[in-house]
């Protein structure tokens, strides 16, 4: 048994580049505060930079274009780490909250594909996206 924790930051939020000028967001603080294990239970943590915090930052941040990448990054992390007895915790801020909400919908509608069937992630996304 393990806990899988997905932390998705808000638009244009990312880890601080300059520790003297930048300050970590609450989502980043949360992801860093989670211990690798608690009472013998492993904890897997994935931190997702906010939409628009990398490539094509202005247009992505302004329009939400590319949010599917953030959703699928979280889903891939779950697929690679999930076992049937695991618990999944999702946290997000701003568009990161939307990201984890959509991730919940993907899991609800398509389930979690087996690690050995990771090639089906794109198919799960197509099915989910057709109802989205």
- With contact defined as beta carbons under 8 Å apart, do 30 and 71 qualify? no
What are residue 40's phi and psi, to 5 degrees?
80, 0
Record the tokens describing residue 30, joined without a space. 């949360």
- At 25 the pLDDT is 86
Q: In terms of residues, how long is the chain?
A: 132
Domain ranges, ordered by start, for the chain:
2-131
Task: Give me the residue label for tokens 């996304």.
Answer: 125
Q: How far is Cα 47 from Cα 63, in angstroms, rounded to an integer?
A: 22
- Kindly report the pTM of this predicted structure: 0.87
**79 to each of 73, 104, 113, how far by Cα in Å?**
10, 13, 6
Q: Tens of pLDDT along 60-112?
A: 545 456 788 999 999 999 999 999 999 999 999 999 999 999 999 999 999 99
Does the pLDDT value for residue 12 go beyond 70? Answer: no
């Amino acid at each position: 048994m393990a806990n899988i924790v997905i932390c998705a930051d808000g638009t244009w939020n990312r880890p601080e580049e300059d520790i003297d000028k930048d300050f970590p967001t609450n989502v980043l603080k949360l992801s860093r505060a989670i211990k690798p294990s608690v009472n013998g239970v492993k904890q897997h943590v994935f931190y997702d930079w906010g939409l628009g915090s990398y490539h094509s930052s202005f247009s992505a941040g302004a329009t939400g274009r590319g949010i599917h990448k953030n959703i699928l990054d979280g889903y891939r992390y779950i697929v690679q780490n999930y076992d049937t007895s695991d618990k999944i915790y999702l946290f997000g801020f701003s568009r990161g909250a939307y990201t984890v909400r959509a991730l919940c919908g993907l899991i609800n509608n398509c389930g979690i594909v087996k690690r050995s069937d990771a090639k089906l992630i794109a198919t799960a996304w197509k099915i989910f996206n057709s109802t989205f």
